[in-house]
Amino acid sequence: MQILFEDNHCLVVNKTAGLPTQAPSHVPDSEESYVRGWLMSKKGKTEGKVYLGIPHRLDRPVSGVLLFAKSSKAAARLAEQFRDRQVEKTYWALVPNTPQLPPDGEQAVWSDHLAKVEGEARGLVLQGETPGSKAAESFARILVREGEWAHLEVKPQTGRMHQIRLQCAHRGFPILGDITYGSPFALASGSGLPNIALHARRLIFLHPIRYEPITIEAPVPADWDKFPIGDLLRPSLGLP
């Protein structure tokens, strides 16, 4: 577990791809359970005496910045920031280098209506506003492209289920490893956990007590070093 920031009110980790953010009590492995266990060990407390709030979540195969609250007051204030879209979220993705991508140097605005497929852990993009759908908006731009792959930056303005994954696939460039939405390649982390090339790179939020801006960045997983990428993409991703 990689801790990126901690004080008396917040704790931020670099989530492991393949782990759920939260899981039922009978499921032993989740990022929440590891963070809770670490706090219990650090403070010498039992489980019932450690508060851990989860104001947002990342999909199981996604890595990156994951914010926890260490008090109910902090949790409520952080959840309000996410609800009111005051938190700036930046994701990095590796996608096929196709003509459908935004032109170099330009920011694209993606506006769609998304809906969950009933009884399944996936969503779909609907044509226009449809009963049961929710509006989704993201800003996207290319950082680097080389050969078959491109390094895409996405800033979601809404927080819909699988939003970035759906919006990329809908436009013809599914995220590398995301076989749920059309990638021809399946990926796994070094431990065999499911993995896709989508990473929560940066989170900017207001501290829940001091109200000062906090910027947290997470390095991409070391497993990305094994992805089929070229020499130009490596420094862009922070890889050696």
Q: Euclidean distance between the first and final Cα of the chain, in Å?
A: 21
Q: Give pLDDT, residue 48.
A: 60
pLDDT, mean of residues 4-15: 97
Question: Per DSSP, what are the bridge partners of residue 141?
Answer: 153
Is residue 198 a contact partner of residue 164, using CB atoms and an 8 Å limit? yes
Q: Which sequence spans correspond to the domains of the chain?
A: 2-237
Cα dist from 176 to 54, 63, 183, 238, whole Å: 28, 14, 6, 18
151: nearest Cα among 97, 222, 217, 228: 97
Reported as a single tens digit per residue, the pLDDT across 153-208 is 999 999 999 999 999 999 999 999 999 999 988 887 666 777 899 999 999 999 99
Q: Is the pLDDT of residue 47 over 60?
A: no
Catalytic-residue membership of 7: no
Q: Give pLDDT, residue 223.
A: 87
Q: Is the pLDDT of residue 222 over 70?
A: yes
Q: Is the pLDDT of residue 90 over 90?
A: yes
Catalytic residue (choose from 59, 112, 178, 223): 59
Q: Is the pLDDT of residue 92 over 90?
A: yes
Distance (Å, whole) CA 163 – CA 144: 22
How many other CB atoms are there within 10 angstroms of residue 17's CB atom?
28
* Rama region for 132: left / alpha / beta (φ>0; ψ in -120 to 50; rest): left
pLDDT, mean of residues 91-113: 96
Q: Is the pLDDT of residue 46 over 80?
A: no
Q: Give pLDDT, residue 52.
A: 93
Going by pLDDT thresholds of 50, 70 and 90, the confidence category of residue 49 is confident
Q: Give pLDDT, residue 158.
A: 96
Reported as a single tens digit per residue, the pLDDT across 106-158 is 999 999 999 999 999 899 999 877 888 999 999 999 999 999 999 999 999 99
- In CATH terms, is domain 2-237 a member of 3.30.2350.10? yes
Q: Give pLDDT, residue 127.
A: 85
How much is the mean pLDDT over the chain? 92
Q: Give pLDDT, residue 144.
A: 96
Report residue 32: phi and psi, to 5°. Answer: -60, -45
Structure letter (DSSP) for residue 88: E
Answer with the residue of higher pLDDT: 128 or 82: 82
Q: Give pLDDT, residue 189.
A: 66
